[in-house]
Amino acid sequence: MTSPAQPPGAHLPEHPDFLWDNPEPKASYDVVVVGGGGHGLATAYYLAKVHGITNVAVLEKGWLAGGNMARNTTIIRSNYLWDESSGIYEHSLKLWEGLEEDLGYPILFDQRGVLNLAHSLQDVRDSVRRVNANRLNGIDAEWVDPAGVKEICPIVNISPDVRYPVLGATYQPRAGIAKHDYVAWGYARAAHAMGVDLIQNCEVTGLETSGGRITAVQTSRGRIAAGKVALCAAGHSSVLAKMAGIRLPLASHPLQALVSELLEPVHPTVVMSNAVHVYVSQAHKGELVMGAGIDSYNGYGQRGSFHIIEQQMSAALELFPVFARAHLLRTWAGIVDVSPDASPIVGLTPVGGLYLNCGWGTGGFKATPGVGDCFAHTIAHDKPHPFNEPFTLERFTTGALVDEHGAAAVAH
Amino acid sequence: MTFRKPTGGEIDRHTLLRFTFNGVEYTGHPGDTLASALLANGVHEIGSSVKLGRPRGIVAAGSEDPTSLVQIEAPFPEPMLLATTVELYDGLVARGLAGQGRLAPEPDPARYDAKHEHCDVLVVGAGPAGLVAALTAARSGARVVLLDEQNQAGGALLGVDEYLDDRPSAEWVGDIVAELRTTPGVLVLERTTAFGMYQDGFVLALQKRTDHLGFAAPAGVARQRVWRIRTKQTVLATGAHERPVVFADNDRPGIMLASSARTFLHRYGVLPGSRAVVFTTNDSAYCAAIDLAESGVDIALIADARPDAPARLATECAARGIEVRAGQVVTGTEGPGRVTAVSIGDTRIECDTLLVSGGWNPVVSLFSQARGKLRYDTELGAFVPGEELDTVRAAGSATGELDLNACARQGREAGSAAAAAAGFTPGGQVPLPVSDSRCTSRSGLVVWRVPGADDASFVDLQRDSTVADVLRATGAGLRSLEHIKRYTTIGTAHDQGKTSGMIAAGIVAEALGVELAEQRPTTFRPPYTSVSFAALAGRDRGELHDPVRVTAIHPWHVANGALFEDVGQWKRPWYYPKPGEDLHTAVLRECRATRESVGMMDGSTLGKIDVQGRDAGRFLDMLYTNMMSTLKVGRIRYGVMCGVDGMVIDDGTVIRVGEERYLVTTTTGNAAKILDWMEEWLQTEWPHLDVHCASVTEHWATIPLVGPRSRDVLAAVAPDLDVSNEAFEFMTWHDTHVAGVPARVCRISFSGELAYEINVTAWYGLAVWEALMAAGEKYGITPYGTETMHVLRAEKGYPIIGQETDATVTPQDLGMSWAVSKKKPDFIGKRSFARVENNRTDRKQLVGLLPVDPTVLLPEGSQIVETDRLPEPPVRMLGHVTSSYPSAALGRTFALALVRSGHERIGETLYVPYEDSLVPVTVTDSVLYDKEGARRDG
Ligand SMILES: Cc1cc2nc3c(=O)[nH]c(=O)nc-3n(C[C@H](O)[C@H](O)[C@H](O)COP(=O)(O)OP(=O)(O)OC[C@H]3O[C@@H](n4cnc5c(N)ncnc54)[C@H](O)[C@@H]3O)c2cc1C
């Protein structure tokens, strides 16, 4: 029998004894944040902390942070191609680096690095281009050859004899993972402690406006007046915006993820591959956490199709033959809000006092602190923060897109 | 000491199997699981817990067991299997785990596969309800699939010693299975677990085909198979799991579910110990106690939490000298490892076994996955299917019914309803068995836990989560079971809360003072039991991970030493090195030969789409930025396609084959996407257009013949064809014969040289290629690959889609305003060209770059900056190098780049950060070779 001196799960931090109260909604708030995911909670937190706005409610239709925040694969990185993206994601990464202390919550932020593999000559060109851009933007980035990949993550199969051999990778050492629930609860607890009301089982069903300004939200728990309303509803953003007559260029898709059972440490970093489509890390407890691409159809069902899982398993075994006898333990799906250029929409709307934060699609977890900070600024000043200035809704009419999709072809 | 009974059980006592566990050798028998064999040897401690390192034993006999995690080491390492589900084989080496498994570094030699199955009625679970359901459906003529995770049918009957219709239940089971097996259209699968239920009757099941054979598993047979079952109707006869009760120190080895002990006894002939205390809240544990007592286990006491013990069973116990105490609960146990004593209030009883029963949890995972609503059954203390779905019915104890006869009746009803819903009329009625069972009353007391040391009262034994953790979670402000699951990690281990989930919900409801009926159970997620990655990957590995596409000429490339590049799924010759050559020297040679004499390449991978119909021209006018409907039959036009955002997505030539027929060429990597794109527009936006598209890529072998001597070579192999410039103009095509084979020859050029593209039926590709090689020999004809093709086109400033473009580049940015029609009223992307952003003059535009030092080769992907010194980041970037090559024709290196305001910067010096220096480069026009186009006509 194995009885190690220290059981493998002994080192994981506990949650605190107190998180939050469950108040009845008040009749009115200065700011109502719709959606109690990571972004909504972070926004409320920075509103209170940075701007001193504490008469704030976060309205969540289900359980707090039970949407994509509870379902994502927690990859954090800032090695995006375009200046606009690297601006906001790097701002976020810097906040991550101090977040545990800031929130006083063990969020298990772990800068174990992220490898983005290249499998074709064009992948190599695109990767080198991104590394060069990152460096000039002051973001840590390296191009590593296959031997370098193996050094960073010894279990990656770099044999040239596979279907799509690994030709190299970009590496961001400061990238990593965190524990999503801990992050959400850290924000929620801290926001609550500063006076923010966290209201669960409270679905927003209508937005009231008067004279081109938002005045209130209608909810499953009654009408709540609001000076300002900030939408942080991820996959349901278009549904909410429509309540104010705003049509968003978003498509909601299922995105699945999965975990294995607990395994001894084998995977020291995060590996992402777009060509052999899968991305993998090993969480603190030991489970392999994996994801791949979105399901192609639209829907709000929080359930994907099984062939997506099968494909990602075959991709995983191409890259990591050692996973063959690991077991799939649990699969699930979230609903991601994909914008035409795969970049977010954060800013003002045609309706006064109504603010929009959506379109983060498959990659908004990493942005949680950054967007929370910038969105709170936007709400407090009725003016975008410089980091989210490029991410307007108007860009889809002006054409000032920030197309990470086509150019960098890296999701999550 | 052995705990194996001399008789009984479904094991083969005549055969001895040797196995090693935690380094010690033991024996068992065919029919054993690893767990039963260990128990037979008196081994109860399996591993230790993940957080606290406490010893862990065997709690249940099946896949619901929360604790008996083992690592298989031989025949091949496999982590995190339950000893209760590993069938024993000779030579097995395993060890208990501390909550984490180990992956083998060596490659898994096993094969895996997948199979599709279509049926009318799928029955999951081959217990009494499932058997009757399956037979009922089968007798109606429906195609039936019956599957069960066990190695034999029988379900709950396997763990009891009961008679049905006055004969051993196994006989009744055997008869039904025999009839099923001989009924055409019926498939019975053992060792097969339905693990996922998806939309529209799509059910995934995993069959373990050779695991139980161990070293004897035949190499050629897939070890595991994923069944992808599409069924019209499903009957879930998935049974129920016994539920424990939580009390202080309830996690010791030797503490086992009562029904599981009964299973070990009847199925494997194994006794759980010598002296047992039984703690129950319902009738079922009485039968376990009585059976065990009859097999020689000393039952010290039955503590029944109910105020009154069931009279008839109590009498039976009394007759066997078993003491029953009603209104009593277990309040603690002693160790240190395996249980040595149990406290019931002030009474302390020494024992080596504690059997527990807290009632039954119907297995509703698949029903819930099918999005069926669950209902809390107060009497049972569990969630049960709360509705009947159109295509999914539950039957048997999966509904909370515990009486065998009633379960079988439900099976019959569900089987017949399912068959009827699938369109079948009833066949012969299946008689319902009459059982002699006497422990199946539903009247239990719902007890989640016995108050006591909360931090030693384990709810989830695998995650080491206790009552204290649950109370801490509710105290922290958490209300939702999903939150509490996450806070405590209850139900997140390998068993996904099969035994712990309901109890956690109960304790939460108690703590919050709410009704369980108002609580939503946590979501059941696939898979029901864990599935190996390799099984899911099936055969889609290695070569088969993604189909390898090769052209008809591929064998020649291989034979002639080509190195290959992956482009999409295709293997394309990259270059053909001669001995001693590297990429650059080979490519310089290939380029020179082509520009100076003649070269050829295999262009068969280019996508080809046959577009036909009355509205084909109109359709292509909408797809391309330029006009295609005006193209004359016999002529060819180059075209650009944009997305709705006005960004280039593909390019290629369009041939007008006939009045209502075009042949469209796409880039190699985009062929499927463009066909999709066409279909999307045709099916969603323009269904009124009479257009049909078909991929014909594979039908053709395509050979560009390039260079000043290409005309001579073509003339030699195409005697019917007038190859003169006058008779065969640029951008026209002719049907003719090449090397005796019908061919379509197009005069197009992607290099600036005189060139012909020879298209023949793929069958003849290799022969025609060889004929061209022979005919070109006297001109030194040189085969070249994608790299040379890239250099030749780059010298001419022709972009490669996906290399010069990245979904942010317009035709205008590429200097191709000429390809954007000003006349057409509309086409995809047109509106976007009117946007502010598209009309900025400082967009990134395609230009050439000449390093000031003509020997410096810029790395592709380099960024471009304005100044010869780098400021602190963020540095303003003007663009990037898209392509970069040494050029034989130019006698120097050159590059293409996208540069902000590039067209205005021609002549300027910019800088490219390269390693530690900044390389000065001169911006030029993108066309660097033969600007006048003098070489096109030869
Ligand atoms: C499987 C998966 C993997 C992912 N992996 C990564 C990754 O590795 N890295 C990364 O950076 N990102 C990842 N993402 C993306 C990331 O999870 C999201 O971009 C991000 O969580 C979105 O912000 P959020 O946390 O606020 O969203 P959510 O948590 O979804 O919050 C939105 C909330 O709004 C609520 N809501 C909706 N409508 C209403 C209404 N009418 N009234 C009240 N409340 C409402 C919802 O219930 C929900 O709780 C992944 C996503 C998924 C699904």
Q: What is the DSSP track for A67-134?
A: SGGGTS--EE----SSHHHHHHHHHHHHHHHHHHHHHTS----B---EEEEE-SHHHHHHHHHHHHHH
Q: What integer is the mean pLDDT of B67-89?
A: 98
Over 90: is that where the pLDDT of A405 sits?
no
Q: What integer is the mean pLDDT of A382-393?
A: 98
Q: What is the DSSP track for B697-765?
A: GGGEEEEEEESTTHHHHHHHH-TTS--STTTS-TTBEEEEEETTEEEEEE---SSSS-EEEEEEEGGGH
Residue B678: Cβ-neighbour burial (10 angstroms; 0-12, 13-18, 19+): buried
A2 CB neighbours in chain B (<8 A) are: 47-48, 95-98
Residue of A nearest to B464 (CA): A9
The atom of ligand 1 lying closest to the CA of A70 is 29
Residue pair B623/B681 in contact by the 8 Å Cβ criterion: yes
Q: What is the pLDDT of residue A302?
A: 83
- Tell the residue nearest (CA) to atom 9 of ligand 1: A75
Is there an atom of ligand 1 within 6 Å of A62 CB? yes
Residue pair A357/A232 in contact by the 8 Å Cβ criterion: yes
Interface test with A, best of B34, B103, B838 (most A CBs within 10 A): B103
Distance A412 CA to ligand 1 centre (A): 12
DSSP state of B80: E
Six-digit token string for B2: 């052995």
A311 touches B: beta carbon within 8 Å: yes
Strands (DSSP E) contained in B770-928 are: 782-783, 844-851, 863-864, 879-887, 892-900, 909-914, 917-924
Residue type, B67: T
Angle A277-A280-A282 from CA coordinates, rounded to 5°: 170
B66 touches A: beta carbon within 8 Å: no
Task: For chain B, give the mean pLDDT.
Answer: 96
Are B863 and A133 within 8 A, CB to CB? yes
Counting DSSP H helices and E strands in chain B, the numbers are 20, 50
Is there an atom of ligand 1 within 6 Å of A180 CB? no
Residue of B nearest to A331 (CA): B526
Which residues face B531 on adjacent strands? A328
- The CA distances from residue B653 to B638, B787, B796, B815, B816, in Å, are 4, 21, 17, 18, 15
Task: Count the neighbouring beta carbons within 10 Å of the beta carbon of residue A369.
Answer: 29
d(CA A71, CA A292): 13
Residue of B nearest to A15 (CA): B487
Sign of the torsion formed by the C-alpha atoms of B660, B663, B664 and B669: positive
Over 50: is that where the pLDDT of A267 sits?
yes
The atom of ligand 1 lying closest to the CA of A38 is 25
Distance from CA of A212 to the nearest CA of B (A): 26
A72 touches B: beta carbon within 8 Å: no
d(CA B378, CA B268): 34
A84 touches B: beta carbon within 8 Å: no
The atom of ligand 1 lying closest to the CA of A332 is 1
- Tell the residue nearest (CA) to atom 4 of ligand 1: A72
Q: What is the pLDDT of residues B525-536, one digit of tens each?
A: 999 999 999 999
**Reported confidence tier of residue A2, pLDDT bands at 50, 70, 90:** very low
Residue pair B392/B367 in contact by the 8 Å Cβ criterion: yes
Q: What is the pLDDT of residues A210-228, one digit of tens each?
A: 999 999 999 999 999 999 9
Q: What contacts 24+ positions apart, CB below 8 Å, involve B543-551?
A: B543/A163, B545/A162, B545/A163, B545/A164, B545/A276, B545/A314, B545/A315, B545/A318, B546/A163, B546/A164, B548/A163, B549/B605, B551/B602, B551/B604, B551/B605, B551/B701, B551/B762, B551/B765
Q: Is B39 helix (H, G, I), strand (E, B) or coil?
A: helix
Q: Minimal CA–CA distance to A126: which of A275, A231, A296, A333? A: A275
Q: What is the pLDDT of residue A406?
A: 64
Q: Minimal CA–CA distance to B149: which of B117, B189, B201, B119? A: B189
Q: Which phi-psi region, left, alpha or beta, contains residue B407 (left: φ > 0; alpha: ψ -120 to 50)?
A: alpha
Residue type, A115: L
Q: Is A376 helix (H, G, I), strand (E, B) or coil?
A: helix
Q: What integer is the mean pLDDT of B225-249?
A: 98
Place of tokens 């019908």: B742
Are B103 and A121 within 8 A, CB to CB? no
Q: What is the pLDDT of residues B830-857, one digit of tens each?
A: 999 999 999 999 999 999 999 999 999 9
Q: What is the DSSP track for B246-308?
A: B-BTTTSTTEEEHHHHHHHHHHH-B-S-SEEEEEESSSHHHHHHHHHHHTT-EEEEEEE-SSS
Over 70: is that where the pLDDT of A410 sits?
no
Residue pair B389/B372 in contact by the 8 Å Cβ criterion: yes
Are B863 and A129 within 8 A, CB to CB? yes
Q: B483-495 b/e with 16+ CB inside 10 Å = b?
A: bbbbbbbbbbbbb
Is there an atom of ligand 1 within 6 Å of A412 CB? yes
d(CA B254, CA B274): 11
Q: What is the pLDDT of residues B278-328, one digit of tens each?
A: 999 999 999 999 999 999 999 999 999 999 999 999 999 999 999 999 999
Over 80: is that where the pLDDT of B547 sits?
yes
Residue type, B466: T
Place of tokens 């093709």: B789
Six-digit token string for A213: 């300004």
Percentage of chain B lying above the pLDDT 70 cut: 100
The atom of ligand 1 lying closest to the CA of A364 is 19
Over 80: is that where the pLDDT of A402 sits?
yes
Which residues face B228 on adjacent strands? B116, B204
Distance A69 CA to ligand 1 centre (A): 5
Six-digit token string for A300: 């709000």
Residue pair B532/B369 in contact by the 8 Å Cβ criterion: no
Six-digit token string for B323: 């003491």
List all residues of chain B from 494 to 553 with a beta carbon under 8 Å from chain A: 494, 496, 523, 525-527, 530-534, 536-538, 540-543, 545-546, 548
Is there an atom of ligand 1 within 6 Å of A206 CB? no
CA dihedral angle for residue B536, residue B542, residue B548, residue B554, rounded to 10 degrees? -160
Sign of the torsion formed by the C-alpha atoms of B611, B615, B617 and B618: negative
Percentage of chain A lying above the pLDDT 70 cut: 97
Residue B58: Cβ-neighbour burial (10 angstroms; 0-12, 13-18, 19+): buried
- Tell the residue nearest (CA) to atom 51 of ligand 1: A72
d(CA B497, CA B463): 10
d(CA B695, CA B693): 7
CA dihedral angle for residue B437, residue B442, residue B443, residue B446, rounded to 10 degrees? 130
Residue B217: Cβ-neighbour burial (10 angstroms; 0-12, 13-18, 19+): middle
Q: What is the pLDDT of residues A57-87, one digit of tens each?
A: 999 999 999 999 999 999 999 999 999 999 9
d(CA B327, CA B305): 5
Over 90: is that where the pLDDT of B399 sits?
yes
H helix intervals, B282-441? 284-294, 311-319, 365-369, 404-421
Six-digit token string for A260: 């294995």
Which residues face B736 on adjacent strands? B743
d(CA B780, CA B773): 9
H helix intervals, B565-608? 583-596
Is there an atom of ligand 1 within 6 Å of A71 CB? yes
A10 CB neighbours in chain B (<8 A) are: 51-53
d(CA A119, CA A114): 16
Length of chain B: 938
Which residues face A6 on adjacent strands? none
A and B: number of Cβ contacts within 8 A: 296
Q: What is the pLDDT of residue A1?
A: 42
**Reported confidence tier of residue A407, pLDDT bands at 50, 70, 90:** low
Q: What is the pLDDT of residues A104-163, one digit of tens each?
A: 999 999 999 999 999 999 999 999 999 999 999 999 999 999 999 999 999 999 999 899
Q: Which phi-psi region, left, alpha or beta, contains residue B16 (left: φ > 0; alpha: ψ -120 to 50)?
A: beta
pTM over 0.80: yes
Residue pair B137/B418 in contact by the 8 Å Cβ criterion: yes
Place of tokens 């379902």: A71
Q: What is the pLDDT of residue A408?
A: 55
Distance A409 CA to ligand 1 centre (A): 21
Q: What is the pLDDT of residues B760-769, one digit of tens each?
A: 999 999 999 9
Q: What integer is the mean pLDDT of B773-784?
A: 98
Q: What is the pLDDT of residue A3?
A: 45
A19 alpha-carbon distance from chain centroid? 22
Q: Which phi-psi region, left, alpha or beta, contains residue B423 (left: φ > 0; alpha: ψ -120 to 50)?
A: left
